[in-house]
Structure 1
Amino acid sequence: MSTVDESTPPELATQSVPEARMSGKQRLALVLLLTAGFTLAVDFSILNVTLPTIGADVGFTLENLQWIATAFALCAAGFTLLFGRVADLFGRRRLFLTGMALLGIASLVGGISTSPAMLLTARVAQGLATAAVTPAALSLLTTSFPEGKLREKALGLNGALMAAGFTTGAILGGVLTDLLSWRWAFFINVPVALAVLVLAPMVLSESRPAERPKLDVPGAITVTLGLLAVVFGLTRAGEKSWTDTTALGSLVAGIVLLGIFWVVEQKVAAPLVPVAILRRANIGWGNFAGLLAFITETSLVFLLTLYLQKTLGFSPLEAGLSFAVLGAGTVIGGIVAPKVIGRVGPKSAIVIGFLIQAVATLSLVLLGQDSSWMALLLVATFVGGVANLIAIVGFMVTATTGLPNEEQGLATGLATMSQQVGITMGIPIMSAIATARVTSLGGENPSTVLSGVTTAIWVNTALCLVAAALVAVFLRRGKRA
């Protein structure tokens, strides 16, 4: 059922009815927040195709090249839950502006970097900026639009642009490197950050509690270190193997720390994440759906990149451009998702999204060793992109519904954490499956890579079906779950 929190200003309360329209200030705020979110999404993938060039220019050895991506991913995923709660306690607009300022400075430093240490410092700062801005921007968005059609529309547009940002980054990185320099992959953030910093104070209102509770320091330390350890372990496993002792040790340490965090949260007076919230079906199963949505789609892009480059012989830029159709699908999915949710509810939207995504993904097991199969790939990724965004928007609506405004930073922090960890988990899991198959067939060649990719696609399809089944059974019923 659609509800309006008692803290919602009277002038916004009327917007939960179908006839409500966005005010001019709300439209400006939405454009500003979407621009920031799109920019951060681009940052996740913009350097992927340029890593060899960056390494040669700045002085990275081959074995250390992955740290350009890993340093960013560790901070972006590890600190997001903490910063989401900090936004609730100390001010969402304040944290949003601080994060954007840090993004601008870090991007400038990254663009002028002349040494590995300088570049890695910039990437760490970009990751911290992402961890601060993403949940702050999402909570500013959800508190600007009460539960109902306007919030669903805003979250749909946000999901569409964020998903499109990942695809755009892969394309833009290759284009900028070919036409200008890899440094412009950093410099492009600077004017965006400056524009947001100038406009944000005019259109975004500050929100924080009248009485600020103490920050749960033990909880903050254990959850942040736990997430850092898990993300590092997953990344290490993807780079080395799932039998690597460092990867396994890091994963075990992360699980232990997250277990300690759970115990701490049940004992402190003002927990970072109240356990009662985590036990709510829409929070727990909503974030589970988001986790699998990002695991399946981001890992599928990785698998198809292997197919395009290793089996069909595409260049990195050609492979990136091949995902433009997927990007279009995600945008359309984000636009139609609110209409689907309005008709069947977020729970059914998630289930429908995963089922259609499963069918589209399964069709990719038919891919062959010549470029005539590109038509199937383009159609399947387009349909899968639409379906994936319907599931993602359904997850975002579900995971932010039923909580008061003062806890929206926590809700969006959890949702962002699910997103970041899902992005991190998918590639090493599917890479391990594909690699094991290639190895069992005697080594890498176009045929064995195709077999490895196909095997992983079967697993990817199964994950979509599992997600649909579990959400259908365990997520509470109701039009707005």
Structure 2
Amino acid sequence: MVSTPAYDPPAASAEAAPTAPARHTGTIVAGCLAVCLAQIGLVLPAAINGEMQRTLQTSGAELTWISDAFLVPAAVLALTFGVVGDRYGRKKLVVGAALLAAVGYLVSATSDTPAQLITGQAISGIGAAALFPASLTMITAITTTPAARARGLASWTTALSLGAFIAPLMSGGIVEHAPFQWAFGVTGVLAVITAVAAWLLATESSAPEGRSLDWPGQITIAVAMLALLYGIIQGPSDGWGSAPIVASFVTFAVFIAAFIVVENRSAAPMLRLTLFRIPAFAASAAMAVIGMLGFLGGAYDLSIRLGVIQHQGPFEAAIPVMIIQACTPFIWPLLVRLLHRIGPGPMLVTGFLAMAAGQLWLRALPIHETALLPMLGPLILNGVGFGLVVAAITAAAVNVVPQNLTGMAAATTSLVRDLGQTLGPAVVGAVALGMAAGQLTGSLADAGLTPKEHGIASAVLHEGGPLALHTADLGPLSAKLAPYTTDALAHGYNNGLFLTAAACVTAAVIAAVFVGFRRGGTAPAEAEGSAA
């Protein structure tokens, strides 16, 4: 239970100002466009991982960084942008963030090296770090009744999934006829359109009372998250016992402890740690990290299976991702009813278990299975589970805090969700590539290669990892190596799916224990002291 508020809730604020119906609708539309854009950027690399790897000749770690360069700032900066939106206005933040994302997509669209593409992704990710919490808080600020809140959250969740549906369709279709850089260029145009729409349609809202930029908190959480992700992503290639990797994990532990100390002592923290005394809020944070690790880790695993191991074309690799993300828009009316009538608990348990079942089912399919029909079952289970989970996590976190703290709650939800999504590819990549490299090291010795061939294969494996060896054009040697690299990668990434399914089951258990199956759960909290 949250006690001893740091400031008294204002009698009237921009959060509760009456809004004309047209502006109310316009704000929801603008918020949905913003989160749709942010999610397009997040999912964009999934369908073209294989094309980017072949065009730029990336290593396994570089390929992971291309996705995580977008996700890292989204996770690290979400809390700070939550404060910025509360203080200076969510509408202005959405407009500026969309324009910044457009700049990042321009950098990516002109890239011809992994480093430039990673840089562009990082700039776009900073924009997304603002778009996720600001778009959500714009909507929660004007939906103050249970029914309106349920419709608003379901609309935001549907737009998020719609973005994830559009991304592979767009990128896969473009890359069939043009270089992969064009996919980033088109997304940049969508970012400019989003900025204009938010400026024209949205109502401004803010809640500046008691909120200030917390630079010590931001610096400590940023260093902690960057150190953690660096260690996980670079561990397989640098060696888990190497000095840089050990130092990165030590740095994470030191700075996460410093963040907790700083936030407890701050008069106006970016994150009130007392919010975690609310069981549903704390459980939502844990579920978001673990569950989204499971979901996006599974999606990343699927993209590698299709685009890199099976060498499917960008559009063919995009279709399964599209099926997963198409489920949420189709079940939008159901999401509204479920949020309003039964609450988030049953949705969370069902959704996480559905994702776990889908990933285990996908794991059971032969690695050479390229037909779409055998994959429909696991794809639909993942898609329906994702829709249920994202809507319910948001509701479980935002609706148990007072209205004047929804900005902080929304930013925290974005941070932990994006942290989980960032960890997904990093953890799956680390586990899968580590296992594949270990298996290949042994199998090359028994592959009947000449000393020269063995030297070439070992050098490519050492420099670029298993993915590079699988996709390298080594002439007749590639044909000799293909069965071994395919088997090793299949072994590694199948174990990655087992890991992501276990994460989803863990999240389901947390939901069952701490959120439960009580009815209701979309009514906003009315007073700070009422949150329990």
Using structure 2 for the length normalisation, give the TM-score.
Answer: 0.78
Counterpart of 2:515? 475
Cα offset for 1:260? 0.8
Distance 2:495 2:228 in 1: 25
Counterpart of 2:97? 99
Distance 2:487 2:157 in 1: 36
Counterpart of 1:457? 497
Deviates more, 1:22-31 or 1:252-261: 22-31
3-state secondary structure, aligned to 2:265: coil
Distance 2:77 2:144 in 1: 27
CA 1:225–1:342 in structure 2 vs 1: closer, same or farther (change >3 Å)?
same
Cα offset for 1:31? 2.0
Structure 1 contact 226–258 (Cα < 8 Å) conserved? yes
Letter in 2 for 1:220: Q
- Which of 267, 277, 281 is the aligned partner of 1:279? 277
Counterpart of 1:19? none
Structure 1 contact 235–424 (Cα < 8 Å) conserved? no
Counterpart of 1:342? 340
Counterpart of 1:45? 43
Larger radius of gyration: 2
Deviates more, 1:318-327 or 1:344-353: 318-327
Counterpart of 1:399? 397
Structure 1 contact 46–171 (Cα < 8 Å) conserved? no
Structure 1 contact 355–465 (Cα < 8 Å) conserved? yes
Alignment gaps of 5+ in structure 1: 13-21
Distance 1:365 1:37 in 2: 31
CA 1:83–1:304 in structure 2 vs 1: closer, same or farther (change >3 Å)?
same
CA 1:247–1:173 in structure 2 vs 1: closer, same or farther (change >3 Å)?
farther
Counterpart of 1:197? 195
Cα offset for 1:142? 1.3
Alignment gaps of 5+ in structure 2: 1-10, 444-483, 522-532
Counterpart of 1:76? 74
CA 1:70–1:356 in structure 2 vs 1: closer, same or farther (change >3 Å)?
closer
Distance 2:256 2:160 in 1: 28
Length, aligned pairs only: 467
Cα offset for 1:139? 0.9
Deviates more, 1:168-177 or 1:294-303: 168-177
- Which of 482, 503, 506 is the aligned partner of 1:466? 506
Distance 2:193 2:349 in 1: 39
Structure 1 contact 430–456 (Cα < 8 Å) conserved? yes
Cα offset for 1:178? 2.8
Deviates more, 1:79-88 or 1:194-203: 194-203
Counterpart of 2:456? none
Distance 1:29 1:474 in 2: 33
CA 1:171–1:343 in structure 2 vs 1: closer, same or farther (change >3 Å)?
same
- Which of 350, 354, 376 is the aligned partner of 1:356? 354
Cα offset for 1:56? 8.7
- Which of 412, 424, 427 is the aligned partner of 2:425? 427
Cα offset for 1:140? 0.7
Letter in 2 for 1:472: A
Counterpart of 1:222? 220
Deviates more, 1:270-279 or 1:236-245: 236-245
Cα offset for 1:386? 0.3
Measured on the aligned residues, the alpha-carbon RMSD in Å equals 3.2
Letter in 1 for 2:223: L
Structure 1 contact 281–476 (Cα < 8 Å) conserved? no
Alignment of 1:164-183 (within 5 A): 164-183=162-181
Counterpart of 1:141? 139
Distance 1:97 1:452 in 2: 42
Cα offset for 1:248? 3.8
CA 1:410–1:176 in structure 2 vs 1: closer, same or farther (change >3 Å)?
same
3-state secondary structure, aligned to 2:23: helix
Deviations 1:424-454 (A, max 9, x none): 1122323344345544585544444444444
Letter in 2 for 1:78: V
